[in-house]
Amino acid sequence: MANCCNCSAPLPPNSIRCDYCGSRNDTDLKGIHYYTTHEIESERLCPRCGIALRTIDLKIGERFLIERCDQCLGLFFDPGELEALLEATVTNVFTINRERLESITTAMRPDTCGISYVKCPVCSRIMNRVNYGAKSGVVVDRCKDHGVWLDGGELRHLFEWMKAGGKLLDQERREEQKKLAAEQERRAVTLPSGSPGGGWGDSSDETVFTLDHLLVAVVREVGRFFRS
């Protein structure tokens, strides 16, 4: 659990404001990577506050730019940038701490009464709210074309999720989904018993019985025609 940078009291889940002293706490990006704030404001607007976002270079590799709102401390990532930051920041995780992940999910349980949809800072279309990974508890705002918005405090929880093995659990879940889909596809193309040649694929004893009687009836009618 993170602590307030001013009074060291524990911060409430999914919040950047301390309940004890009222201070706002930004995600400690300086503790992650050295970064510089560009003096020129981004053309993108904060979907919460409506003010220009500030461009930050996290100095991962040669250049790694993201946008942050100075007022609500939300962050906007272009496609793939959030995943790259998590990968670069949290390393050497080899086990899944399911108890810790369950605790993170519970702490981040959203207040359904306070849900609001926000616009993409790039195209101004309403973004979709989607769960990030398995057992993260974080619901991010995503534009399929331009990127992901995180409210203040959500990045901190995603770091905790990664440290508890959240990515490993998400990969495990995806593999299980692939196996299930492959098994369902295999069953769909398997010929049922009693249907040689696979031409009908849905034959049964009752169907064969009906066809046999129809054939007998046709033969009898043909015989009666020639005898008359």
How far lies 165's CA from each of 21, 83, 103, in Å?
33, 14, 13
Q: In what order do the strands lie in the sheet with 147-150?
A: 36-45, 52-57, 65-68, 75-77, 147-150, 139-143, 128-131
The answer to whether the Cα torsion of 61, 63, 67, 70 is positive or negative is: positive
Query: If you average pLDDT over every residue of the chain, what do you get?
Result: 78
* Domain range list for the chain: 29-173
Partners of 54 in the β-ladder? 41, 68
- Would you place residue 13 in the very low, low, confident or very high pLDDT band (cuts 50, 70, 90)? low
pLDDT tens per residue, range 114-154: 678 999 999 999 999 999 987 888 899 999 999 999 998 89
pLDDT tens per residue, range 139-192: 999 999 999 999 988 998 899 899 999 999 999 999 999 999 998 888 887 655
